[in-house]
Amino acid sequence: MTDATTETNAAPPPAPPPADLAELGARLVEDVARLDSELGEVDLLIAQAKTEAARHETRRIAAADNVAALAREGDPVKSLEASTQLINLTKRAALMESQVDVLEGKRRALARHRETIAAYAEVIGTMDPATPVAAALVQGVTKPAAKRAAVDGELMPPAVSKLVLSAQEDLRREIARAMHDGPAQSLTNIVLQAQIVERLVTKDPAMAQSEVRQLVAMVQQTLDATKTFIFDVRPMVLDDLGLVPTLRRAARERGQRAGVVVEFESLGQDRRLSMDLESGLFRMLDEALVAYLDRSPDQLSLRVDWTPERVEARVIAARNPRAGGAEPAADAVPADGKDLPPALAAMMEDRRADARDAAEAARKEAIVAMPPTIWREIQNRAATIGVGVELLAEGAELHLVAEAPADAEG
């Protein structure tokens, strides 16, 4: 009986390799259909998770209002119960939001896999169905895979491969450091704060109420920091909605953190671009925003212009001129200077020179120049994806131009 049960639960034997391209194409079509079905299931799960997340967020907001109302009434017991409920609802809301993010990430991965399988099925469909698979491999059906291997590093020159691997390690190191110093440290503090609340619940409910409020604030702050970290690593809204909504959010949130209002404007009919172009444009413009905000400008604007053939973007930073010297009026001194004593004429000329120097210093101080290191990074990224880039106004204006015909959008 045990042997029979084991055989029943064992995985089915792998299918034999296809004999010809007709059979291989049929299997690929079946895989595409199966992936379509899985994508439909994931879409359903995402919709359910979003509904559940919205419900938890509504309950969390109501619980927060209840805590605030009880705090005004001054009932420590009821306030403690309401605060505990608020903590649980906050945790559930954060969990549901993370579940939505995970499901959306899985959907994107499945969609990319599905597109790859469909592309191979389309290529095989154009060939002779009777061609044996082994012969097709020799004739070059797998050339795209060979190209990908070259890109991935298998056929790369050693120097280029070393550079790519070094960049990957640097990126992993930065992510690990950011996680350790940010969310991981905050979660440790939350655990310690929760332990303090647990000890005070039975000993001093009134003091526990204050500690609970602090714990709720820490949880909310950590949730916000985690969302910011995810946005900095790879904003998922870029994959879901495109360039303009992502830039609008980046301008708003980065401006709020820096205390500077970033004016954002998108003119023309925006559209989806290829993944590489969207990611590259966002990274360059986002790096420019961060670099300019670090220089404490008074005004910062981001404008994106869309035409049927291209997309053009400008980031302009400025600082209000500080009070400076003003040149004496021209009519304050006779034009020929004959009526002035030499000493007074020399003094007036010195004053003019000082005023010109002060005006030039104020003008230079009002310039918010992009740091050279950031400018080099933007130039390198622009060259990689074929985007025109220039730095204007003595470094205070970044101008990007990308060829993006409407009929070639990704």
| Residue range 132-139: mean pLDDT, rounded | 52
Sign of the C-alpha dihedral, residues 376, 381, 382, 383? positive
Q: Which of 99-103, 171-175, 219-223 has the highest mean pLDDT?
A: 219-223
Measured at the CA of 288, the angle between CA 286 and CA 290, to 5 degrees, comes to: 70
What contacts 63, CB < 8 A, 6 or more positions away?
Answer: 82, 85, 86, 89
- What percentage of the chain exceeds 90 in pLDDT? 20
Residue 268's pLDDT is what?
92
The residue ranking higher by pLDDT, 297 or 349, is 297
Q: Is the pTM of this model over 0.85?
A: no
The residue ranking higher by pLDDT, 38 or 332, is 38
Neighbours of 29 (CB within 10 A): 15
Of 135, 173, 129, 176, the C-alpha closest to 27 is 129
Determine which of 118-127, 192-201, 239-248, 329-338 has the lowest per-residue pLDDT on average.
329-338
Q: Where are the domains of the chain?
A: 234-320+366-410
Residue 407's pLDDT is what?
67
The continuous run of DSSP H or E covering 402 comes out as strand 397-403
**CATH number given to 234-320+366-410:** 3.30.565.10
